[in-house]
């Protein structure tokens, strides 16, 4: 049985993976099979994608999934892989800071050592309270939980273009003071902007990558310590389902299956 002492050591090891000289690269998983595939590829850690998790459990992304179902999935992923797990918990699965703290306690009980928590449309002052509650819950458990504070200014286009960088840096500083460990800024790939973010944020910077993004090494050279694929991997997997179904039904052919993983390989990955 994993104890909080074990979790504390694993959390410290996970934090140590954040280094711009060799950025932590996370191909986000959404179930046990995808987590084991990622770990088997040699990943030093596994991250979940909240969107992929929600979709796989029949819910839309965006705080619609019930907390207990999310925590159950996290526990299953943690039990399935030998590496640290960081869980995307959307906005915290709670209406207020106290509920966010309860979620974090559940995340730790599930065995994860990191979380992503997003501000979304929330006022930064409210998000500060939620992050502080998350940190307090982790401190109470004696675990240095890696809290990756997601800032949605670029992803959602908040504010004016001319002030967005300053707003993002101000939020980052406030979130770090509240207890965040690192900062996640999805929606920005411009090298100059990323470099300014890395320079202005006194903590590891996480960037969301996609098909047209520069390489991991290129972002590392800009000062980025962590890159992730978010929901892209799950979206690509579901795209195969659609292509296979449409091809089968319209053409009666099966070309979309050409690059599928062998049955035996997948089955062996899930054997204890």
Phi, psi of 267 (to 5 degrees): -65, -40
Q: Give the pLDDT of residue 207.
A: 98
Helix, strand or coil, per DSSP, at residue 148: strand
Interatomic CA distance for residues 140 and 11, integer angstroms: 15
Pair of tokens at residue 86: 């960081």
CA 134, 155, 87, 212 torsion-angle sign: negative
Nearest to 178 by CA among 129, 139, 141, 138: 129
Average pLDDT over residues 94-123: 97
| pLDDT at residue 3, as a whole number | 72
Average pLDDT, the chain: 96
* Whether pLDDT at 2 is above 80: no
Q: Provide the pLDDT for residue 190.
A: 96
Query: Which residue, 141, 133, 138, is CA-closest to 101?
Result: 133
- Per-residue confidence band for 1, with pLDDT thresholds at 50, 70 and 90: low
SS3 category, 115: strand
Q: What is the pLDDT of residues 5-39, one digit of tens each?
A: 789 999 999 999 999 999 999 999 999 999 999 99
CA distance 85 to 223: 23
DSSP 8-state code for residue 23: -
Query: Which residue do the tokens 């902007």 mark?
Result: 193
The pLDDT value recorded for residue 5 is: 74
Round to whole Å and give the CA distance between 245 and 212: 26
Q: What contacts 190, CB < 8 A, 6 or more positions away?
A: none
Only one residue has tokens 């019930």, namely 66
CA-closest candidate to residue 45, choices 70, 32, 27? 27
Bridge-partner residues for 114, per DSSP?
86, 146
- Encode pLDDT of 216-272 as tens digits: 999 999 999 999 999 999 999 999 999 999 999 999 999 999 989 999 999 999 987
**What is the distance between the alpha carbons of residues 231 and 235, in angstroms, rounded to a whole number?**
6
pLDDT band with cut points at 50, 70 and 90 for residue 4: confident
Q: What is the pLDDT of residues 31-89, one digit of tens each?
A: 999 999 999 999 999 999 999 999 999 999 998 999 999 999 999 999 999 999 999 99
Express each pLDDT in 113-137 by its tens digit: 999 999 999 999 999 999 999 999 9
């Amino acid at each position: 049985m994993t104890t909080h002492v074990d979790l504390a050591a694993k959390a410290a090891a996970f934090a140590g993976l954040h280094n711009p000289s060799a950025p932590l690269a996370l191909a986000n998983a959404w179930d046990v099979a995808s987590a084991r595939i990622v770990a088997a590829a040699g990943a030093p850690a596994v991250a979940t994608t909240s969107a992929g998790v929600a979709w796989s459990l029949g819910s839309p992304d965006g705080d619609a999934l019930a907390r207990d179902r999310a925590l159950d999935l996290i526990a299953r992923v943690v039990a399935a892989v030998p590496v640290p797990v960081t869980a995307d918990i959307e906005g915290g699965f709670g209406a207020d800071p106290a509920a966010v703290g309860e979620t974090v306690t559940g995340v730790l009980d599930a065995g994860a050592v990191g979380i992503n928590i997003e501000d979304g449309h929330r006022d930064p002052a409210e998000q500060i309270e939620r992050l502080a509650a998350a940190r307090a819950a982790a401190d109470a458990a004696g675990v240095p939980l890696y809290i990756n504070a997601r800032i949605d200014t670029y992803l959602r286009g908040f504010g004016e273009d001319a002030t967005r960088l300053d707003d993002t840096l101000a939020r980052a500083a406030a979130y770090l003071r509240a207890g965040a460990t690192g900062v996640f800024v999805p929606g920005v790939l411009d090298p100059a902007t990323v470099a300014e973010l890395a320079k202005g944020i006194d903590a590891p910077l996480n960037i969301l990558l996609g098909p047209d993004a520069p390489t991991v090494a290129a972002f590392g050279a800009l000062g980025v310590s962590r890159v992730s694929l978010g929901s892209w991997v799950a979206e690509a997997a579901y795209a195969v389902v659609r292509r296979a179904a449409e091809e089968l039904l319209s053409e009666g052919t099966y070309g979309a299956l050409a690059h599928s993983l062998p049955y035996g390989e997948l089955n062996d990955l899930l054997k204890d």
